[in-house]
Amino acid sequence: MSDSRQPIGVIGTGYVGLVTAAGFAELGSEVWCVDIDAEKIARLRRGEVPIYEPGLEELLARNSERMHFSTDIADALANARLLFVAVGTPPTYSGDADLSAVQAVADAIPASREHALIMKSTVPCGTGASLRRVFDEQDKGGLAYVSCPEFLKEGTAVKDFLHPDRVVIGDDGGWAGDAVVELYAPLGAPLVRTDIASAEMVKLASNAFLATKISFINEIANVCEPTGADVVEVARGMGLDDRIGSKFLQAGIGYGGSCFPKDVDALKQLAGNSGYHFQLLTAVIEVNELQKRRVIGKLHKHLGGLVGKRIALLGLAFKPNTDDMREASSLVLSARLHADGADVTAYDPVAEEQARKLVTGIAFADSALEALRDADAAVLVTEWQELLELDWGAVAEAMRGTLVIDGRNALDPQLLRESGLLYEGIGRR
Ligand SMILES: NC(=O)c1ccc[n+]([C@@H]2O[C@H](COP(=O)([O-])OP(=O)(O)OC[C@H]3O[C@@H](n4cnc5c(N)ncnc54)[C@H](O)[C@@H]3O)[C@@H](O)[C@H]2O)c1
């Protein structure tokens, strides 16, 4: 790639920041990464990758000469005009997004006509406008601002950065928006260049729509159970209609992760703050919460009381190919099982370290078969490939009971039944 690519700064080196930084380095930019987490920066300087994301280690290693890591935002300001902001925006108790990290970055930027903040963090619609007011009050009106929401998915984030479905850029038509368009140009993705508020809303509306699709098919699954239909067949039949599409039509035990729950909440809250009651999202959230608990009902149905029953949880991460445990369905499930007196052992191929910080009262095993040893029942929580390929004959031998609840409808019922196991999916016959 050419040496004429703009250098950039990336503030916040989490899942989004690090992938964005490595991705732009791959496209030829010098990248100045900043984080307030000194330990993370020290690890990155040593060439270690603090998160699990397929392909990221190789991308960072390949571009290490173009990547610089610091805890001081002055290093990014001195070397780059475009500062991508990728700090966390977790939910507050009210459901609004917590913008304190975004505000801290904005406060740390001095008055400058040379620099632009490019907002990658997911923020409520209206954030760009309120930051503009703050900049004006602080005599920092010359600072440029661009909304550039991120759509990458953990687990396939590197691929998503390099081959995005679309790039959305919201700005006021100035130099910074043009510069961001140029940065993304080599990827050849469809470009949506629009105003700042609309770009902010594209992100929130996209996540809310996907979450709605998941809660919708989960409710269909719940109706399939008493009526004898099989939701996998139903989803197959629906998904072939290209107005509907097959993605996000897999029924299961609910969505989790660092984005859907908080972004759906934030949009609902944003609507409420503006005087509109977003009824549909209220239902989407409630359906998801109840869905996480459906496994408990199924366990009771087959095992009776759960006191002293040994339950194996297969997978803990909110989805496969990530170690992210934020809002994972396994958190609710393990807490409910623990409260019901069950004896829980869990196995996850990569998320154990993160899980240990969030989950109490359960044991961790080094392999799936170890977790399954003498279990009365097993629950597939995360559809890791390794778990889908288990030797079900060996599973049946290791377990004390026979019940396997497929929380992701990802297993082959026939195969399990042939191994002597009792299969129960979500909304499956
Ligand atoms: N994770 C995803 O899949 C995903 C996808 C799309 C959008 N997003 C959005 O992107 C944003 C970042 O998400 P993430 O998952 O990468 O978060 P993360 O928690 O993994 O990373 C955030 C990083 O920002 C750092 N940070 C916090 N305050 C800082 C400051 N003042 N200066 C410098 N660094 C600071 C933290 O130390 C952390 O390393 C969020 O708004 C999220 O909603 C996330």
Residues 249-268: pLDDT tens digits? Answer: 999 999 999 999 999 999 99
How far apart are the CA of 87 and the centre of ligand 1, in A? 4
Mean pLDDT computed over 71-86: 98
Q: What ligand 1 atom has the least distance to the C-alpha of 154? A: 3
Q: How does residue 234 score in pLDDT terms, banded at 50, 70 and 90?
A: very high
Residue of the CA atom closest to atom 12 of ligand 1: 88
Residue 83: CB atoms within 10 A of its CB come to 25
For the record, the structure tokens of 370 come out as 């170890």
Q: What ligand 1 atom has the least distance to the C-alpha of 13? A: 39
Q: What ligand 1 atom has the least distance to the C-alpha of 157? A: 3
pLDDT at 429: 86
Q: How does residue 94 score in pLDDT terms, banded at 50, 70 and 90?
A: confident
Rounded to 10 degrees, the C-alpha dihedral 291/296/298/304 comes to -160
How far apart are the CA of 14 and the centre of ligand 1, in A? 5
pLDDT at 1: 43
Per-residue HEC secondary structure of the chain comes to CCCCCCCEEEECCCHHHHHHHHHHHHCCCCEEEECCCHHHHHHHHCCCCCCCCCCHHHHHHHCHHHEEEECCHHHHHHHCCEEEECCCCCECCCCCECCHHHHHHHHHCCCCCCCEEEECCCCCCCHHHHHHHHHHHCCCCCCEEEECCCCCCCCCHHHHHHCCCCEEEECCCCHHHHHHHHHHHHHCCCEEEECHHHHHHHHHHHHHHHHHHHHHHHHHHHHHHHHCCCHHHHHHHHHCCCCCCCCCCCCCCCCCCCCHHHHHHHHHHHHHHCCCCCHHHHHHHHHHHHHHCHHHHHHHHHHCCCCCCEEEEECCCCCCCCCCCCCCHHHHHHHHHHHCCCEEEEECCCCHHHHHHHCCCCEECCCHHHHHCCCCEEEECCCCHHHHCCCHHHHHHHCCCCEEEECCCCCCHHHHHHCCCEEECCCCC
**In the predicted structure, residue 166 carries a pLDDT above the cut 70:** yes
Rounded to 10 degrees, the C-alpha dihedral 221/393/345/54 comes to -70
| Cβ atoms of residues 119 and 128 within 8 Å | yes
∠ CA 38-34-256, nearest 5°, is: 85
Q: What is the pLDDT of residues 338-363, one digit of tens each?
A: 999 999 999 999 999 999 999 989 99
**In the predicted structure, residue 165 carries a pLDDT above the cut 80:** yes
Q: What is the pLDDT of residues 324-337, one digit of tens each?
A: 999 999 999 999 99
Residue of the CA atom closest to atom 41 of ligand 1: 121
**In the predicted structure, residue 2 carries a pLDDT above the cut 80:** no
Q: What is the pLDDT of residues 21-69, one digit of tens each?
A: 999 999 999 999 999 999 999 999 999 999 999 999 999 999 999 999 9
pLDDT at 4: 76
Residue of the CA atom closest to atom 18 of ligand 1: 14
- Mutation choice for ligand 1 from 69, 70, 150, 156, CB with most ligand atoms inside 8 A: 150
How far apart are the CA of 356 and the centre of ligand 1, in A? 21
CA distances in angstroms from 172 to 78, 109, 178, 179, listed in the order given? 25, 20, 10, 13
- Is 148 catalytic? The answer is no
For the record, the structure tokens of 419 come out as 């191994």
Q: How does residue 95 score in pLDDT terms, banded at 50, 70 and 90?
A: confident
CA 396 to mean position of chain CA atoms: 33
What CA–CA distance (Å, rounded) separates 403 from 416?
A: 10
Q: CB within 8 A of 374, min separation 6: which ones?
A: 310, 398, 399, 400
How far apart are the CA of 154 and the centre of ligand 1, in A? 12
Q: What ligand 1 atom has the least distance to the C-alpha of 153? A: 3
How far apart are the CA of 110 and the centre of ligand 1, in A? 22
- Mutation choice for ligand 1 from 20, 34, 35, 102, CB with most ligand atoms inside 8 A: 35
Sign of CA dihedral 271, 273, 279, 284: positive
- Mutation choice for ligand 1 from 258, 322, 358, CB with most ligand atoms inside 8 A: 258
Choice among 33, 125, 148, 259 that is catalytic: 259
Q: What ligand 1 atom has the least distance to the C-alpha of 16? A: 16
How far apart are the CA of 415 and the centre of ligand 1, in A? 41
Mean pLDDT computed over 206-223: 98
pLDDT at 222: 98
**In the predicted structure, residue 113 carries a pLDDT above the cut 90:** yes
Site residues for ligand 1, CB cut-off 6 Å = 11-17, 34-37, 40, 86-89, 101, 104-105, 120-122, 150, 152, 154, 258-259
365 strand-pairing partners: none
Q: How does residue 5 score in pLDDT terms, banded at 50, 70 and 90?
A: very high
**In the predicted structure, residue 3 carries a pLDDT above the cut 70:** no
For the record, the structure tokens of 406 come out as 């497929």
